[in-house]
Structure 1
Amino acid sequence: MVHRQLAPVVLIGDLVASRESPDRRRLHRVVEAALADTNARVSSVEPLEVTVGDEFQAVYPHLGAALEAALRTRLALQPETETRYGIGRGATTTLDEARGIKDGPGWWAARRAIVEVEEQAERGAMQHVHTAYRLAEGEPDPDGTALAVEAALQCQDHLVGSLSKRSARLLRGLLEGMTQRELAAAEGISPSAVSQRVRADGLAVIVRCHELLRSLP
């Protein structure tokens, strides 16, 4: 049996309502620091970098890496700013290396995904959904993986978007491998209080979902 080489995965990120920031210079520095941290933790074909406007982009060898990068970056930027993500699988090319002009089906799919996320956010019931995954036209999906990933992302995003600032910090710590006792010390609360938040806010569910998604080829 001949196995088809999987196409790379494009990620396009965008800051939500960034023009309302009272200090856009500071916000830009915060974004660059978050992207640098994600780049240090997630292997890429082309690392995350700020592009035009309030967007940033990257290319990953696997879907799991793109999904991990999206979640890590979103959490790193909260509560400073909220972000949305379009992820697309398909061929890519560079039209202008000097100016960083990208093209190809993978980019078009990611662009379509982020536009659809923005449109979804206008509906109150979907306001916490900030990530979407789309295949480029002609990309095979015999097992319906794209739909399953979309369903998982919507559930994960809703949980993440519903977290308090403290629970979001606890989630970041859990993703970094910190124990509940270490998190309790960092937050100045009891281990039992951390345990209660992990259960009540579904933090363990988010972590497990993340572990499963990041393993996707």
Structure 2
Amino acid sequence: MSGLVIALIVDIVESRKLKDRVGAQRSIRTTFEDALRVHRPLRPLWPTVGDEFQAIFPTLGHALLATTQVRLSLPDDVDCRFGLGRGETVDVDEQAPGAIQDGSAWWNARRAIEETHRREHGGEPYLRSWFISNTPREVSAMALVNSFLLLRDASISSMRPRDRRLTAGSLYGYTQSELAEQEQITQSAVSQSLRRSGGAALVAAQHELLKGEIQ
């Protein structure tokens, strides 16, 4: 695959502490499948070594939306980290049962997820995502994207389970009345939850990023 793309590396937070790691991996794949029905990746999520997954997106906007949807929609006891890297990908061995890839997109995604680990275990325990690109035109854009990721992850990490479900539903395009029926609460309660949790602001921010056509 040639041209600049977004490579995504996903790993499971504290996977060794999970009682059902197989179930957790299954829930991650299912959640990604749901998130990618609207904005399809260049290559869907696939498992790699250990508790890692990978995917390839055509644009940064699509990758940011998908990872937001996934974090909001995962089961309460499962969480993921995301390393996003801009660059090129190349097939190393096309004859292998599963395509083995290399390239600057993967190097940057690996650096990004390592930076996420470092920051998460430093002074930013809520952080789950980071973006790295070594293209000259994106030096300043990296700071803007990572500022968004810091705020996004802090917001999601502080949400209660219902807040996440309502924010996810809103991001998927459900109306507040539809969400109220799903949760068996009033429309007013949905509106209050989205305002209080920051979910409404997060959804608005995601829509602005897509309108801006972040490539």
TM-score (norm 1): 0.90
Q: 1:140 aligns with which of 130, 136, 139?
A: 136
Counterpart in the other structure of 2:128: 130
Q: Which amino acid aligns with 1:216?
A: I
Q: 1:150 aligns with which of 146, 149, 161?
A: 146
Q: 1:82 aligns with which of 72, 79, 83?
A: 79
* Paired residue total: 210
Check if 1:192 corresponds to 2:192: no
Query: Segments of 4+ in structure 1 off by > 6 A?
Result: none
Q: 1:171 aligns with which of 167, 170, 178?
A: 167
* Contact 1:88–1:110 (CA under 8 A) maintained in structure 2: yes
Check if 1:109 corresponds to 2:108: yes
Farther-moved stretch of structure 1 (171-180 vs 67-76): 67-76
Q: Which runs of 5 or more residues in structure 1 are unaligned?
A: none
Deviation at 1:101, TM superposition (A): 2.0
3-state DSSP of counterpart to 2:185? coil
Counterpart in the other structure of 1:14: 11
Q: Which amino acid aligns with 1:107?
A: W
Deviation at 1:142, TM superposition (A): 5.8
Q: Which amino acid aligns with 1:73?
A: V
Check if 1:159 corresponds to 2:173: no
Say if 1:169 and 1:86 are closer, same or farther in 2 by CA, change over 3 A.
same
RMSD between superposed Cα atoms in Å: 1.8
3-state DSSP of counterpart to 1:30? helix
